[in-house]
Amino acid sequence: MGSLPIPDSQFAHLDQFPMDEAFMIMRDFALDTHPGKVSLGAGVYRDNDAKPWVLPSVRKAEQLVVQDPNIDHEYQPMSGHPPFVPLAQELTFGPLMASLSNRIVTCQTISGTGANHFAAVFLSQVLSAKRVWISNPTWGNHHLLWDISAPQVKQQLYSYYNAKTCSLDFDGMIQTLDTEAQPGDIILLHACAHNPTGIDPTPEQWKIIADVCERKRLFPFFDSAYQGFASGDLDQDAYAIRLFAERGFELAVAQSFSKNFGLYGQRVGALHIVVSRSEVAAPTQSHLTKLVRGEFSTAPVHGARIVTQILSDSSLRKQWYADLQVMSSRLKDMRRALYDELRRLGTPGSWEHIVDQIGMFSYTGLNAKQVARLRDEQHIYMMASGRASIAGLNTSNVAAVAAAIDAIVRAEQQA
């Protein structure tokens, strides 16, 4: 019996999408065999030996979780691990919980990415929003998440970065929103440690942004991926969210525990919706729960148990505060070390922006051609935009990275 001819595939019309740049850099770095290679691409914390760092508080908490004889592997409620949810709320809203507790609706998500996805789906459906305003630039995944989750919502860009000064284009941001934003639009705001620029508005600028949102009747949606990790101060990093909440805004917050707990692979997150009246909280919760049921039914629990163990134990919570200081302080030290080395070398240009920025990332001001030469000639990897992960720097490589940047910048000037 002869074999049937193989028909044309019904998937033959598909184009191959390019690999995500961040993961492509991680792959290329792993394949590079050069002993002096440096990764400034991956958005993950590394210690001074360029190794993954399990927070001491997390290690202790995990031991307690796995040794608990009462732990089981049953389904969790669709809203999330019950003791985790109020702790996640308290971390975000702090002293406002007394007045907001009956107006915050929360569901546990698959980390911050899942929280962003849920927010895009939920807000686009419930608010019937036609447009979402996103900073230019932003975390690359924001655009993909809205493309997939709410393709009917048009993505608009508000100015954020001034390439000439490597600083916040605050006037451009306000002007864009004032002249072009429409009532009912969603605005996506980075709560702290803006990714990729590392540039945040000042408290006074946040007040003006809130004024614009109130005047234009925009719906604020905060992406909070770095609370405590950015400055080492949980309250400082939650300032913008709490400012808007205190002023009476209805708002949404996508919360991630990947960076500040180092739980990258556990995918722990939450989506919070603040509503204006307590009586609408229950129906809002029901809509979120319906989304959860339709996508994954219940969130994974191990990472949430670790977070719960830390936040509910005063000793572990104190240790976690110290761990946040270790990470945030090392990042600040590496910013200063890179800046000092570039100054010592007399590298052409102004580099103050490196120490003025905050958090994991620095928008170095290097262009795509310079970044490519750093990779090809010096085995130093970063995003084509010039975004560098400061966590990839350490006392052993910062001088070499500065020297490489100096050489590339000088070579381009002489060309």
Which residues are known to be catalytic? Answer: 139, 223, 259
> How far is it, in rounded angstroms, from Cα 238 to Cα 234?
6
| Residues 90 and 98: beta-carbon distance below 8 Å | no
- Nearest CA among 38, 150, 112, 72 for reference residue 401: 38
CA dihedral 208, 209, 214, 219 (to 10 degrees): -170
| Residues 349 and 408: beta-carbon distance below 8 Å | no
- Nearest CA among 104, 108, 105 for reference residue 76: 108
C-alpha triplet 12, 16, 22: angle, nearest 5°: 160
> How far is it, in rounded angstroms, from Cα 336 to Cα 239?
25
Q: What are phi and psi of 365, to 5 degrees?
A: 95, -5
| Helix and strand totals (H; E) in the chain | 17, 13
Tokens of 129: 């929003």
